[in-house]
Chain A
Amino acid sequence: MSPTLTDASGAHADPTDGLSVLEQRKSQAATFGIPLAVLAELTHRCPLQCPYCSNPLELERNNAELTTGEWKRVLSELAEIGVLQIHFSGGEPTARKDLAELIRHATDVGLYTNLITSAVLLTKEKLIALVDAGLCHIQISFQGSEQGIADRVAGLKDAHAKKIEAAGWARELGLPLTVNAVMHRQNLSQLPDIIQMAVDLDADRLEVANVQYYGWALKNRAALMPTMEQIEQTSGIVEEAEGRLKGILAIDYVVPDYYALRPKKCMGGWGRQFFNISPSGKILPCHAAETITGLVFESVRDHPIAWIWQNSEAFNRYRGTGWMPQPCQSCEFREVDYGGCRCQAFALTGNAANTDPACALSPLHEQIFKTATIESAGDTRLFIYRNFAGGTLETDVHGT
């Protein structure tokens, strides 16, 4: 007999590609390759102002957001076409007053619910209501290991203390906890303490995610880019911790593109196993896809979701390998990484169809490595905070 459990993946941007395991079973959802998991950005409103926010520079306003009724219809539709998990994200998803209602509805239609939150708006009572509604897992973002840098990056006083408190409630309620730590030059020195913090918080999993440079992060690149020395140290720290904490804390490590040799298999391949729903209902191949100008994204308000997934010109343009230029087209890795990241190719070359410069085979690879080296050695320290006004430069209180 020997029973087996195969990892069929489903997490967004999971590098392992187990989806094929389920795809082999020739079902309706498999025929259309409907993703196992979908990210729902309920709102772009957020009390934090992190300078590397993954939301677009052009944030969607409150009055454009899908209504409670529209989100419920979307959740039902997702379950119907074969989506199994929903990640409620934002902005800050708890800024939506109907979050518990949406989690309840998602649970009722059979979706597994994850909450991706900054946690600063939570109270214990609110969290209990979310758990009662069926919430299965919470991911809380941390900006550092102590309030000094953490509150400064978040652009919100006492944010760090609130997060620590909320993480405690989550574990008290038996909710599995993922700590998400976005790393950059100004907080990488705290990584050992962040790992210990995740252990102390009794987290199941820690995501050590180096900033990826699109949108807000690109605007702040000079203040965020780590040095090569930091990255070398980081890899060692993560490796040591993974060994030491086996069975206690799982660690997922996202390396920074600018120092990589091979590009990441972004989103598991464009339009291949993931989509994202924006606050106003646009279906996007990834949360940063709107940084690519010239693509038109359809809305759940106008079309069935399965129709968009199959027919959207924006999805089909970079699907598979047919669109690839050289050196990708004849590269033996073309179905390993699908040419890397379209958003990064666009941000750095002006053409989303070019090879991702994170790849050593890109003619621009040397150049971005140089950019990273120069910017990381520079003295830019102040952040441009993320907000609806298009960004606000940090006030220099420390005097740089």
Chain B
Amino acid sequence: MRLLRTELSRFFARRFIRVLLIFIVLIMGAVVAGVAGSSSPVTEEQYAAAQEAAQRDYELNKQMMDQAYQDCVTDVTSPSPSGNWGEGLEACAAILEKARYISPNDPSGYLPDQFHLRHELDTWIYLAALILCLFGFIVGASFVGAEWTSGGMTNLALWYPRRLRLLAMKLTAAVLGIGAIGVAYLGVWVGSLALVAQARGVVDGATPGFWQSSLLLCARVLALTLACAVIGFALASLGRHTASALGIGIGYALVAELGTLLVFSVLNATFPERFRLSTYIAAWLTKRVELYDYNLCLMDAVDCGNQRYIIDLTTSAVVLGGIVAIIAALAFAAFRRRDIA
């Protein structure tokens, strides 16, 4: 536990982590300010004006349709119909039929833009997930990578010869540190957006069920952040350099994510997206991803709805957890066997 406490002190004392933390807090500030700036509170006058405008447009549309019907009847009953309306009075009846569906407009479409918490919070939490995952990956990689490049790992190994325990404590410190930052970040992120919605947007529909669902989404974001942190940590430990993890991460994004899609498309594999990690990440966040094979639909002229590949929460958890476990196991095995330089 002494080692863990020390590693936690080292984690929060590192300047790189502090700078990165300031950076992501600034991003959060910019996002919240942007949402607040683009959302305006609605006055009673604005709402009344919106209702009036909606009613006006409704009546205008209705008048236009009535006029069109009259023009149609006049034309088709004339001695020399133009043919623009179709054949006979049946064509004009179709206009009447369409006119039946004209309904008064929703005044919300006439109001200034407003941040709607229930409808939009998930989207903003996905953005927080992207930021936190990158943060976790880079910080996880740097926390061990800097030890390798600075020679600090030699120092540590001289003090703690139980190598697996040493790396495990270091990883635990990174996970706890990043986890604590992740919890605080998500809390402030969601709390700020809720306040913005309260002050300048719409909070209708923010039921206890909605908050429970949002909380679970935040928990999944946190788990994903920690998974990214473990992967970054493990890759940097395997490569003995922070840059090796970043290189593999960028290389994977450029080559594997696009490459697998291209290769499996060329090979005519069905549902090529199922070979991409990003698909499972999306499924983890949204609880379910459905992949459609549009080629199959076109060729067989069948219902696309039946030709789909479903990735649910369990599947994505197994795949993502398996990848994290394999990379971490490789890092620990290498650390146990290899010379520490």
* A and B held together in a complex: no
